[in-house]
Structure 1
Amino acid sequence: MPMISPAAFADTLRPGMRLFVAGCAGEPTAVLDALAARPGSLAGSTLLGVPIASINRRDWSALAPVEAAFMTPELRGGLAAGRVSFRPLHYSDAFAWLRGPARGDMAIFRCAAPRGGSVSLALTHDFVPALVEAGAALVAVVDPSLPDVPDGVRIPLDRLHALVDGPSPTPLLPVDEPGEAMAALGRHVAGLVRDGDTVQTGIGTAVAAVVQALAGHRRLRFHGGMIGDAVLGLLDAGVLEAATTGIAIGSAALYERMGREGRIAFRSVGVTHDAARIAALPSLVAINAAVEVDLFGQVNSEMIEGRQVSAQGGVADFVRGARRAAGGRSVIALLASGKGGSISRIVPHLAPGTPVSITRGDADIVVTEHGVAALRDADLDQRAERLIAIAAPQHRDALADGWARLRARF
């Protein structure tokens, strides 16, 4: 199959299409640039996708109306203007939505250079397979700099609608070195992990802190939706034996390594977030971050001061799966305060209008730099007491007063 230019591909689109655009490192920047230069090519069309905050920084709604199962700060203007339709779906449900009800006509995604009659999805294997299953036309945007991973999703060339020559910079995700409070948080979380466990984490500074604290563990395995550079450190240190993930995002060194790292298996969200598969993982420890937790155990992981800045993503899939796995447990990790200690991230109750990303019935273990609150099987008063005990010391009295007022209304 001959490769065509992004501009030539843009000129082939018919009006009124529903186009899935890959997110994370699979975002087809070269094609989006070509579409931006030809606004008429998207007449009457809709973009579908799951863009990731801090990675996909383009406002897709400037090109066409968007239906998204995740939110980014760049899409908030389009959300306010009615050009973005946000679906607050768990990742497992987002995969099912894209596989059928979304009615995607075409999927556009970056891939590694063709090899052996097929292309590798490189760093981003999460949602494209849903469109493959739905029978959508597939447009592979080739970037030779992307790794052809040893164990991942491959798409035969004869299944492709078009092969586009579209090298573009791969997004990098630097991680800050954990400070003292974050390091303490990491040690508390690591203390809940036992040798031989399977671990799920997200990415970011908190994960880096947990990984540093896991240095003395052995025989761990990873099963999750996303990995970063921290996983390489665990592999090299002999802590981690193998990993299953849908996405890799991080440094250039991480991307180079993915092309030759056979211990990492890349799978779709249909595998990584499947409820039955997660529940079948023995001793699964799901570790996820949050914005705030209230004294009932309800978790907000997607809204800050009334602004939708992210989404629940796969957190509920893993929280519920870990609670059902034999010996499994779910950990919500967050620093106890923000803005220099002036605000508590453990609050009496979530503010009106704040979505509950994890219900109190799903809450299991909450960790801050001040300790661990075990909530599974705890009654209402025990939950509040245990959460107040791991709040920032300067906020504990106010939290206790807030709980007393709430409790008096029960």
Structure 2
Amino acid sequence: MASRSGHVVRWLSKQIYNTSWGCASNVRLYYTYSHEPFHPLKRAPAWKTAEEAVSVIKSGDVVFVHGAAATPIKLVEAMTRHGKANQLEDVTVCHIHTEGPALYTQPDCEGIFRSNSFFIGSNCRQAVNDGRGDFVPIFLSEIPLLFHRKIIAIDVALVQVSPPDKHGFCSLGTSVDCARAAVQHAKHIIGQVNPCMPRTFGDGVIHKSHFDAMVDGIENLPEHEPKERSDVENEIGRLIAEELVENGATLQMGIGNIPDAVLSSLKGHKDLGIHSEMFSDGVVDLVEDGCITNTHKKYHPGKIVGSFIVGTRRVFDFVDNNPFVVMCDVSFVNNIPIIAQNPKVTAINSCIEVDLTGQVVSDSIGTMMYSGVGGQVDFIRGAAVSRDGLGKPILAMPSVTSRGESKIVPFLRQGGGVVTTRAHIHYLVTEFGIAYLFGKNLRQRAYELIKIAHPNHREALEKAAFERLHCIPSQ
């Protein structure tokens, strides 16, 4: 049986390689032989202009766009021009958050393109909230399943990669996340080849033979410069770093001023590890100061584990050809049982609004969709069920909005999306302190949350808590 099946595979591969379609084929039949991006195939990509490459996109297609700093902006802009010029219809563009103007989301592209976001970036937010774009509520860890299970069938994948090395291998660079799964299943793959894209180790390697077209696309990667932090954000960072992060902890954190404030307050810590779906410039400082060694981690000990990177050229240069960093498929990085095996898992995420019972809104402001589910629940849960019992699931936010309204509220705003449930929340941190809610009943939760609310709102929250719970909040 083994001999016969081997003969069938060899025969099939021979038929595929000898076909007259060559690399111009619109049907990736050689995937019946191997769809593993590491595997070199007996074919070569065609080098084309961006306009020539995207001309394969037709009405009704589903197009995947590589996300975050790896957004292939040159290809996206060419796709938009192609759609308009050829009067395409009903092209779905799916992605996590992307960078650049995302011109396909503009009103003049309605009916031509429709964005389908797995995590909403600022460039797609208006389209989603105006009804011209769509949003899929989904855990970051499960996005690859959409492709593996053919729930979303990708016709064309637009990705940005580093140039091929001497063996013909490219790198997905700063964003492996769900892009690896996308290129495994796309019928047609177009690569924007950019020498500015870092070559990273891990799951993001793809041999050039898997591309149908390559485009010369040198340009600087989109950067996120750190914003000036407020006193409130610095105080939240100090509280988390000094009170909750232990030496030897494995950290997960998102992007933004609060995670940056935490990282800047960790310079006295030792033997920290990083296993996080994303990281930014603040990690580089801690590596250089000797705080991050990854010594005690169970998976990839001695190495930083990430799935995508957002930041400045500093962090891009840091990860380039650096074996200290491993970029992995997000279904691995955000896998709860894997997260839970690391020591002292400390997950630090931000949120928008929390009610007095501990329900957490993270993806919307009332009915306005703002971001997405992301990896918050993946890591909140991974920390909560950590094997050593020392994990800390942490949520953090300023006590008030920019208009002075309390972010700890009696009732969530109508339409607000509960990302982290009452049962998931453990720690909530504001500039006024730390509330530990795990195992506490509703009366006790209200008491702890009111203690860390802004003083200007505490009396009103106490009255509202009594009206809602029919008892006085207390320990």
TM-score, scaled relative to structure 1: 0.94
Structure 1 residues 251 and 312: alpha-carbon distance in aligned structure 2, compared to 1, 3 A threshold: same
Please tell me whether residue 348 in structure 1 is matched to residue 399 in structure 2: no
Distance 1:183 1:284 in 2: 22
Q: Which amino acid aligns with 2:277?
A: G
Q: Which runs of 4+ in 1 moved over 6 A?
A: none
Distance 1:348 1:147 in 2: 47
CA drift at 1:133: 3.5
Structure 1 residues 401 and 285: alpha-carbon distance in aligned structure 2, compared to 1, 3 A threshold: same
Specify the SS of the correspondent of 1:70: coil
Offset from partner CA, 1:256-289 (integer Å, 9 cap, x none): 2221432111111111111221122231111000
Identify the residue that residue 381 of structure 1 maps to in structure 2: 443
Tell me the C-alpha RMSD between the 2 structures: 1.9
Identify the residue that residue 328 of structure 1 maps to in structure 2: 391
CA drift at 1:106: 2.2
CA drift at 1:222: 0.7
CA drift at 1:72: 2.9
Q: Which moved more, 1:237-246 or 1:81-90?
A: 81-90
Specify the SS of the correspondent of 1:89: coil
Correspondence 1:209-220 to 2 at 5 A: 209-220=261-272
Structure 1 residues 339 and 149: alpha-carbon distance in aligned structure 2, compared to 1, 3 A threshold: same
Q: Which amino acid aligns with 1:403?
A: A
Q: Which amino acid aligns with 2:53?
A: F
Q: Which of 1 and 2 has greater Rg?
A: 2
CA drift at 1:130: 1.4
Specify the SS of the correspondent of 1:200: strand
2:278 to 217, 226, 229: 226
CA drift at 1:122: 1.1
Q: Which amino acid aligns with 1:373?
A: A
Please tell me whether residue 109 in structure 1 is matched to residue 153 in structure 2: no
Identify the residue that residue 149 of structure 1 maps to in structure 2: 200
Specify the SS of the correspondent of 2:69: helix
Structure 1 residues 23 and 108: alpha-carbon distance in aligned structure 2, compared to 1, 3 A threshold: same
Distance 2:249 2:458 in 1: 34
Identify the residue that residue 19 of structure 2 maps to in structure 1: none
Identify the residue that residue 360 of structure 1 maps to in structure 2: 422
Distance 1:223 1:149 in 2: 16
CA drift at 1:138: 2.1
CA drift at 1:306: 3.2
Specify the SS of the correspondent of 2:417: coil
Q: Which moved more, 1:168-177 or 1:390-399?
A: 168-177
Please tell me whether residue 171 in structure 1 is matched to residue 222 in structure 2: yes
Identify the residue that residue 3 of structure 1 maps to in structure 2: 47
Aligned partners of 1:364 and 1:376 also within 8 Å: yes
Please tell me whether residue 46 in structure 1 is matched to residue 92 in structure 2: yes
Structure 1 residues 238 and 372: alpha-carbon distance in aligned structure 2, compared to 1, 3 A threshold: same
Offset from partner CA, 1:283-318 (integer Å, 9 cap, x none): 111100011111111111121243211112111111
Structure 1 residues 351 and 81: alpha-carbon distance in aligned structure 2, compared to 1, 3 A threshold: closer
CA drift at 1:386: 0.5
Aligned partners of 2:183 and 2:189 also within 8 Å: yes
Identify the residue that residue 181 of structure 1 maps to in structure 2: 232
CA drift at 1:15: 3.1
Distance 2:88 2:391 in 1: 47
Identify the residue that residue 323 of structure 2 maps to in structure 1: 262
Q: Which amino acid aligns with 1:391?
A: A
Specify the SS of the correspondent of 2:337: helix
1:207 to 239, 256, 259: 259
Aligned partners of 2:168 and 2:208 also within 8 Å: yes
1:140 to 188, 191, 203: 191
Q: Which moved more, 1:116-125 or 1:172-181?
A: 172-181
Distance 1:370 1:352 in 2: 27
Q: What percent of counterpart residues are identical?
A: 28
Specify the SS of the correspondent of 2:411: coil
CA drift at 1:76: 3.7
Distance 1:42 1:97 in 2: 25
CA drift at 1:376: 0.7
2:352 to 284, 291, 305: 291
CA drift at 1:349: 1.9
Structure 1 residues 30 and 161: alpha-carbon distance in aligned structure 2, compared to 1, 3 A threshold: same
Distance 2:78 2:93 in 1: 15
CA drift at 1:402: 1.0
TM-score, scaled relative to structure 2: 0.82
Aligned partners of 2:125 and 2:369 also within 8 Å: yes
Aligned partners of 2:380 and 2:393 also within 8 Å: yes
Identify the residue that residue 274 of structure 1 maps to in structure 2: 335
Unaligned runs of 5+ in 1: none
Identify the residue that residue 29 of structure 1 maps to in structure 2: 73
Q: Which amino acid aligns with 1:230?
A: G
Structure 1 residues 74 and 145: alpha-carbon distance in aligned structure 2, compared to 1, 3 A threshold: closer
Correspondence 1:397-408 to 2 at 5 A: 397-408=459-470
Q: Which amino acid aligns with 2:458?
A: R
1:244 to 288, 294, 305: 305
CA drift at 1:229: 0.3
Distance 2:247 2:87 in 1: 55
Identify the residue that residue 133 of structure 2 maps to in structure 1: 84
Paired positions, count: 407
CA drift at 1:234: 0.8
CA drift at 1:154: 0.3
